[in-house]
Amino acid sequence: MAAITPDNHRLRLIVRYTILTLIALIFVFPLVFMVMSSFKPDLQLLRDTSSFRAFLPVGDLSLDNYRDAFTRAPVATFIFNSVFVTGLTVLLSLLFCSLAAFSFVFLNWTGREVLLSIVLATLIIPFETIAIPLLLLVSQLPWIGWEGLELGWLNTYRVQIIPWIADGLTIFLFVQFFKDLPRDLIEASRVEGASWWQIYRRVVMPLSGPVIATAAILKFLVMYNQYLWPLIVVQQETYRPVMVGLGYYFQLNPAWGEIMAYLTVITVPVLAFYLVLQRAFIASIASTGVKG
């Protein structure tokens, strides 16, 4: 076996970082293209796509696309709607799915294995196959609001939130994580007289940071990128999310500069959310092998 000398160790590092840099560039270039293009007029943007200039801040640069993007559509409303719907769904999903997983893992009740199998089986059902039945269902569901009993959930925030709170993947993530927690901790807590709710809140959840981060990020991405569901259940502009709003820029002659400006703006909440949780997300991947 050849000895590892300082020279070949250095060479390996150079090769490794060169490969990693190239891979990083592949992922970063689309983002760079998006940001750079958002400052260019349409004709220049289209012409630059055939050269490396597409990735460089060259030519006639301005903030006009941003100004026009905000003029063309109620961007702030779309972003608020997406952030509100996504934020609330993520919070409720973490609560309800972790409770469900807690029940599956720590409580003894008849049929839990069967029910967990059914929950996991829902992972293989594409949403598109249930979209229409779900639409028919929510269009007839009652709701008691400020104005009394209403029939139908269309054109509301709740129709974008409630059907998405519980899902098989999030429950699965929590179940897998909870199974790896030391059972002694739970049993010791029971011996100490803690209730199941206290164990959930004081013992299990404080130890679940990584899986919470993972589930939150995955759920955030699913919700923030929602398109089909809001498209069919929301007809009023005041409730539309960002992805449906993207359609405002695809006219007969698409406004490519504005599209890039809009995409740049709506990417900010996603990046911010990921940056806040990235450390816990990476820890979760390292400890559980689960990734998006």
Contact residues: another protein, CB under 8 A:
43, 46-47, 49-50, 71-73, 132, 135-136, 139, 152, 154, 231-233, 235-237, 244-253
Q: Which is nearer to another protein, 197 or 250 (CB)?
A: 250
Q: Quote the tokens at residue 232.
A: 């069919």
Q: Quote the tokens at residue 78.
A: 């779309």
Give yes or no for a contact between 260 and 34, defined as CB atoms under 8 angstroms apart: yes
Least distance to another protein, CB of residue 132, Å: 6
Angle (nearest 5°) at CA 243 between 239 and 246: 100
CA dist., res. 264 & res. 36, Å (int): 10
Q: Which is nearer to another protein, 120 or 154 (CB)?
A: 154
Give yes or no for a contact between 233 and 219, defined as CB atoms under 8 angstroms apart: no
| Distances, alpha carbon 229 to alpha carbons 67, 219, 245, 262, in Å | 29, 15, 13, 21
Least distance to another protein, CB of residue 49, Å: 5
Q: Which is nearer to another protein, 75 or 173 (CB)?
A: 75
Least distance to another protein, CB of residue 234, Å: 9
Least distance to another protein, CB of residue 29, Å: 17
Least distance to another protein, CB of residue 71, Å: 7
Least distance to another protein, CB of residue 244, Å: 7
CA dist., res. 81 & res. 141, Å (int): 22
Q: Which is nearer to another protein, 141 or 181 (CB)?
A: 141
Q: Which is nearer to another protein, 26 or 252 (CB)?
A: 252
Q: Which is nearer to another protein, 37 or 98 (CB)?
A: 37
Coil/strand/helix, residue 142: strand
- Nearest to residue 131, comparing CAs of 235, 222, 241, 232? 232
